[in-house]
Structure 1
Amino acid sequence: MSTVRGAGVVVTGAGGGIGAALARRFAAEGARVVVNDLNAEKARTVAAEIGARAVPGDASLIVAEAREALGGTVDIYCANAGVGAPGDALSEDDVWSAAWDVNVMAHVRAVRALLPDWLERGSGRFVSTVSAAGLLTMIGAAPYSVTKHGALAYAEWLSLTYRHRGLAVHAICPQGVRTDMLTASGSAGDLVLAATAIEPEAVADALFAAMAEDRFLVLPHPEVAGYHQARAADPDRWLATMNRVQQTWEGATR
């Protein structure tokens, strides 16, 4: 893609899974890529594989170093790092705080560092890896579902506020993807996500299709659009259906 070749791209959480797939795809399309991950060894392994630069560390704090590694300009920032955060209404504050910090506030901090330059140049691209849980919800994962709703709301706000000033925003909302996070979701993931899980590379394909079409919502599982429409059209029916899924899960885990 002409908009990607030569672009400076940062992908957080790129030591594996969706992030690694995004980094590989951007590099294959001719972008100059910075691979970020909290696990330094994983970040360096992926970077070495694709001829990129590794900038390990907390995704909230690496924008300045990543910009320097790219020669002063970040054109595309993929806020992909996230935590699964299973839990319920009784989860402790530290669980909620960790999910909020990584799944929402890391995006806010990155944009705070990037936005002035993007607005001055009149161009920039922010990619948020949200999850279908941000459009719908996920059983057994209250902190994850709530914070992913927050990530989606933030991406929507950025798009409606700055698109006329050159900022393109994309929200990636897959269901199950064959990554460590899916494995960690346990029996809830097995029930709801495993049967239709896709490879991380399919998520990268969906993002590139959305970028080509200048489309905000990225749905690697197209059926999520129908679920989202059903939820909006009849919330009570949708909630009743999801409650039956919840009851099935509870019965299976007793």
Structure 2
Amino acid sequence: MSKVQGANVVVTGAGGGIGAALARRFAAEGARVVVNDLDSDRTAAVAEETGAIAVPGDASAIVEQAREALGGTVDIYCANAGLSAAGGSLADEDAWAAAWDVNVMAHVRAVGTLLPDWLERGSGRFVSTVSAAGLLSMVGAAPYSVTKHGALAFAEWLSLTYRHRGLKVHAICPQGVRTDMLTQAGTAGQLVLAPGAIEPEDVADALMDGIGADRFLILPHAEVAGYYQARATDTDRWLDSMNHIQQKWEGMGGA
């Protein structure tokens, strides 16, 4: 029996892309799913397609509503909603604040609501869609890269703190995925992410494999493991290689 069969699942940012693919896969595996997105029309469309329950709105503010819609319990919470990797200069404090709120604090708020019940029951799963930018970095996207590092750090902290009390945590770290966010990443996305881009369904497959193995770090792009190892073992060489990408991007008109 699948570990998600019969589970109550919430997927944020599920109006399209990775979130919609996760919702479809959970529903196909026999889970009861709540889908959430800021766009109410897209949320309703995915809910109708998958047989899920639509709970549109700000991901930070719908946790209680989603839990009530599922009969009072959430077994798996997928913090998938995120801001695009595009833009956000060092001086744009609004961009930093928005990225921090969506990419990190929305996760913190959701866990703050759900954790007491998970610990009381001795079970629960938190899934964070981090992106490879949280393991590595991304040229031209300081707020995105920094806050995705924060999302990974929060997921790591949850796992090391509560795994002995039944909480399973999964951090999904894909590179390029063929979604609207890839398009929004502009020339940096075309340079770094597009060549090896995969489908959202591939990310869903990787998550199901990771849940089956209770594996924390989920890498839909196998090559990311090598990049991560290179970053850890020879950081200056890795930074040099990333700087070469930065220079190439600047030659394409990136700033």
Q: TM-score range by the shorter chain?
A: over 0.9
- The question of whether the paired residues in 2 share the 8 Å contact of 1:134 and 1:173 is answered with yes
In the TM superposition, residue 86 of structure 1 has moved relative to its aligned partner by: 2.8
What TM-score do the two structures reach when normalised by structure 1? 0.98
Identity rate of aligned residues, in percent?
77
Shift of 1:88: 5.7
Deviations 1:117-136 (A, max 9, x none): 00000000000000000000
Question: Any idea what the Cα deviations from partners look like across 1:3-38, whole Å, max 9, x if unmatched?
Answer: 211110000000000000000000000000000001
Question: How far apart are the structure 2 equivalents of 1:31 and 1:73?
Answer: 13
Between 195-204 and 85-94, report the one with greater CA deviation. Answer: 85-94
**Structure 1 range deviating more: 79-88 or 136-145:** 79-88
2 CA distance for matches of 1:244 and 1:221? 21
Aligned to 2:63: 63
- Whether the 8 Å CA contact 1:86–1:143 is kept in 2: the answer is no
Query: d(CA) in 2 for partners of 1:98 and 1:130?
Result: 16
Q: Please give the alpha-carbon distance, in whole angstroms, between the structure 1 residues aligned to 2:48 and 2:139.
A: 38
Measured in 1, the distance between the counterparts of 2:146 and 2:184 equals 18
Mapped partners of 1:155, 1:206: distance in 2:
17
- Is the 2:86–2:184 Cα contact (8 Å) retained in structure 1? no
Cα distance change on mapping 1:71 and 1:88 into 2, 3 Å: closer
Which residue does 1:214 correspond to in 2?
214
Structure 1 residue ranges (4+ consecutive) displaced by more than 3 angstroms after TM superposition:
none
Distance 1:80 1:163 in 2: 21
2:17 is aligned to 17
Q: How far off its partner does 1:89 sit?
A: 5.1
1:161-180 to structure 2, matched below 5 A, reads 161-180=161-180
Q: Which residue of 2 aligns with 1:187?
A: 187
Matches of 1:43 and 1:74, distance apart in 2: 19
Counterpart position of 1:131:
131
- Partner SS state of residue 120, structure 1: helix
Unaligned stretches of 5+ in structure 1? none
**RMSD of aligned residue pairs (Cα, Å):** 1.0
Deviations 1:181-220 (A, max 9, x none): 0000010000001010000000000000011111000000
Q: CA deviation at 1:252?
A: 1.3
How far is the alpha carbon of 1:90 from its aligned partner? Answer: 2.8
Aligned partners of 1:88, 1:81: CA distance in 2, in Å? 18
Look up the match of 2:223.
223
DSSP-derived class of the 1:253 partner: coil
Residues 24 and 50, structure 1, Cα contact 8 Å, conserved in 2: yes
Aligned to 2:243: 243
Distance 1:57 1:74 in 2: 18
Once residues 131 and 116 of structure 1 are traced to their aligned partners in structure 2, the CA distance between those partners, rounded to angstroms, is 27
Q: Equivalences for 1:75-90 in 2 at 5 Å?
A: 75-87=75-87, 90=90
5+ long unaligned stretches in structure 2? none
TM-score normalised over the length of structure 2: 0.98
Amino acid in the other structure paired with 1:222 = A
Q: Is the 8 A contact 1:159 1:169 kept in 2?
A: yes
* Number of residue pairs the alignment of both structures matches: 254
Q: 1:208, 1:73 → 2: CA distance?
A: 21
C-alpha distance in 2, partners of 1:248/1:149? 24
In structure 2, how many angstroms separate the alpha carbons of the residues matched to 1:94 and 1:72?
A: 36
